[in-house]
Structure 1
Amino acid sequence: MKKIIIVFLLAAAILSGCTSFQQKENSNDARQETKSGEAEEENKEPSAIANETRNFLLIGVDSRGEEDSRSDAILVASYEPSGESIKLVSLMRDSYVKIPDYQYAYSKLNHAYYIGGKDLLKETIEQNFGINIDHTAVIDFMGFTGMLDAIAPDGIEVEVSSKMIEDMGLDLEPGKQKLKGRDLLSYVRFRHDGQSDFGRVDRQQEILIGLKDEVMNQFSSPAGLARFPDVISQAMKYVETDLKIEEALSLGVSFLMNPVTDIETLRVPITDSYENKTYEHAGSVLQLNFEENAEALKQFLETEKE
């Protein structure tokens, strides 16, 4: 029962270790509209929220408690209550995007969080990719290890290469191995191979998908159901989110009625839709074809109607 919010919360935790532009004509009006929308959201009943498609911005930050940090992992998770899957979009942190009110106009996507926190990152994503974000969740390295140890104390099985073992300083043999909190953090952050950040994004999604079944199994028994409220309360201690506990439980009820069986994934930029560029103020970036990526994202997130 009530398992879907665990997936959302865990998504922020798991992925914390990894790391056609549509500008509104009047930015002040845009911010006013956002505030008005937030006010309307405050008045909604949790049950109403659970019946709507929701887009969650999941932000993993490269911090162990410091104030200044960058968003090392940026994902959008879309949940449609009557559907059978969660749609998960990984946004590459080096994507070269237009940041509202930024002195150089464009920079890396993760720089938006550094200069303006989750609100500016949310606004940047919405304006560059033409999608709406309903809720945000942020977690850092300490939250990642704490939550993983609480939810998956026996670890998660992954394929570990010799290069990873050397880089991470692990006393293991190459092949299938179960990694726990801190080692999983190192696993999803590893990028010292030919895939670099693209490999990290793949591992982010791999761990999330692998964890889904474990989460499902934990709450399928009467004993698991009995401890569900406590797990939710503990999980939310590790995550900074605007999602209220009653909203989380309401989403869980929705999941009970319409079980999620799959996680669909997309990486942005999509293949052959970007160039590697270098700018003095931003360093190495991914120069996106925004029209192509925005259209791919729109099609991916759209819910098919009968």
Structure 2
Amino acid sequence: MEEQDYSRRSQRPQKRRLRKGRALFTLLLLLVIVIAGYSVMQYRSGLKLASDTKVAQEAFKGDTVNGDVENYLLLGIDTRGEEKSRTDTMMVLSWNKKTNDMKLVSLMRDIYAEIPGYKSYKLNTAYYLDGVQLLKDTITNMFGLPIHHYAIIDFKNFESLVDILAPNGVEIDVDKDMSENIGVSLKQGVHNLNGQELLGFARFRHDAEGDFGRVARQQKVIEALKNEVLSPQNMMNLPKFVGAAQGYITTDYSSAEEVQQVLKMVSKGKVSIEKATVPIEGSYNFQSFRGVGDSIVMDVEKNKEFLRKFLGIPLE
């Protein structure tokens, strides 16, 4: 009899543990459902917000991906309601999907380039003449650099995306007072910049550094935005940000592929970005051409060799 009572008593703690386990599992399940529901709602909110602002998608044939590295042609344009525009920002982002390392190469817009099917112009004219495919072909022909995908964002859409991702602003060390032709006034020092201010900072070029200084600031902005995407305090903003990106950013990816790529990058945690500018120092000079204006004439082979070493990939 005593033995039987002992057996019943020994089962009670186990039942309590089971009940606590079920309660904890139920709470976790509810939490997952709430987070998933919130994420879906925010994602759809972002989609709706950007539904009428997409830059028209273009026919594009990228190079075949070989290995773990993919190269993305990133373009910033200022449409201002015009049918055609030149590219104000041209970058190639090289992403090693195995290591999650990224290398960012800024291409100066005034590079004097042979444009297939046309005479030589400044590099940023290629997009104006015949869109992203012609610009891609111009870059590939010049450097032998494979380009697998592209992404284009209009500057007004950039401002909106920044404000969605970081409602409290993006921290930037403004290197000098600046206001000329950027639509905002910025004071030297560390500030949290909203979308319009951050764009103004990235576009400023009215100083002794000119376009080279602007390219350096653009790279600084990319680094800051990368940190905002990976910041835990902005995780709740990511679903809306990803949704809005579907409309604000034009790319050859499908919507599902875009989301997959962003999540893949974020899920791997820390991302390092090495940055460079082409042409490299000591490899160019300025010349003026009739009908083109002041241009950057560079030693193509010297810059091609630099890209081969910097990106760590074979070039044609």
TM-score bracket, shorter-length normalisation = 0.7 to 0.9
- 1:186 aligns with 200
How much does 1:185 deviate?
Answer: 1.5
- 1:118 aligns with 132
Q: Is it true that 1:234 corresponds to 2:238 in the alignment?
A: no
Of 100, 103, 106, the match for 1:90: 106
Tell me the TM-score normalised to structure 1 length.
Answer: 0.75
**Equivalent residue runs for 1:80-229 within 5 Å:** 80-102=96-118, 105-160=119-174, 163-165=177-179, 168=182, 170=184, 173-218=187-232, 224=236, 228-229=238-239
How much does 1:244 deviate?
Answer: 1.5
- Structure-2 change in CA distance of 1:162 and 1:198 (3 Å): closer
Whether the aligned pair in 1 keeps the contact of 2:279 and 2:298 (CA below 8 Å) is: yes
- 1:297 aligns with 307
How much does 1:272 deviate?
Answer: 0.5
Q: List gaps (5 residues or longer) in structure 1.
A: 1-33, 42-48
Q: Return the alpha-carbon distance in structure 2 between the equivalents of residues 271 and 129 of structure 1.
A: 17
Whether the aligned pair in 2 keeps the contact of 1:83 and 1:260 (CA below 8 Å) is: no
> What do the CA deviations read for 1:25-54 (whole angstroms, capped 9, x no partner)?
xxxxxxxxx85x78xx7xxxxxxx898421
Q: Is it true that 1:288 corresponds to 2:298 in the alignment?
A: yes
Whether the aligned pair in 2 keeps the contact of 1:87 and 1:301 (CA below 8 Å) is: yes
- Structure-2 change in CA distance of 1:51 and 1:199 (3 Å): same
What SS is found at the alignment partner of 1:164?
coil
How much does 1:85 deviate?
Answer: 1.5
- Structure-2 change in CA distance of 1:248 and 1:50 (3 Å): farther
Tell me the TM-score normalised to structure 2 length.
Answer: 0.73
Whether the aligned pair in 1 keeps the contact of 2:107 and 2:278 (CA below 8 Å) is: yes
Q: Is it true that 1:77 corresponds to 2:77 in the alignment?
A: no
How much does 1:209 deviate?
Answer: 0.6
Q: Return the alpha-carbon distance in structure 1 between the equivalents of residues 302 and 160 of structure 2.
A: 39
- Structure-2 change in CA distance of 1:51 and 1:132 (3 Å): closer
Of 264, 267, 282, the match for 1:272: 282
Q: Return the alpha-carbon distance in structure 1 between the equivalents of residues 300 and 186 of structure 2.
A: 43
Q: Return the alpha-carbon distance in structure 1 between the equivalents of residues 299 and 266 of structure 2.
A: 40
Whether the aligned pair in 2 keeps the contact of 1:63 and 1:69 (CA below 8 Å) is: yes
- Structure-2 change in CA distance of 1:205 and 1:153 (3 Å): same
Q: Return the alpha-carbon distance in structure 2 between the equivalents of residues 81 and 203 of structure 1.
A: 26
How much does 1:193 deviate?
Answer: 0.5
Which sits farther off after the overlay, 143-152 or 198-207? 143-152
- 2:44 aligns with none
- 1:155 counterpart letter in structure 2: G
Q: Return the alpha-carbon distance in structure 1 between the equivalents of residues 86 and 175 of structure 2.
A: 28
How big is the alpha-carbon RMSD for the aligned residues of Structure 1 and Structure 2?
A: 2.6
**Percent identical across equivalent pairs?**
40
- Structure-2 change in CA distance of 1:114 and 1:220 (3 Å): closer
Q: Return the alpha-carbon distance in structure 2 between the equivalents of residues 177 and 253 of structure 1.
A: 29
Q: Return the alpha-carbon distance in structure 1 between the equivalents of residues 185 and 87 of structure 2.
A: 30
The number of equivalent residue pairs is: 255
Whether the aligned pair in 1 keeps the contact of 2:68 and 2:96 (CA below 8 Å) is: yes
Q: Return the alpha-carbon distance in structure 2 between the equivalents of residues 232 and 109 of structure 1.
A: 30
> What do the CA deviations read for 1:184-220 (whole angstroms, capped 9, x no partner)?
2211111110000000000000011112121101478
- 1:59 counterpart letter in structure 2: L
- 1:86 counterpart letter in structure 2: M
What SS is found at the alignment partner of 1:278?
strand
Q: Return the alpha-carbon distance in structure 1 between the equivalents of residues 303 and 290 of structure 2.
A: 25
How much does 1:249 deviate?
Answer: 3.4
Whether the aligned pair in 2 keeps the contact of 1:50 and 1:247 (CA below 8 Å) is: no
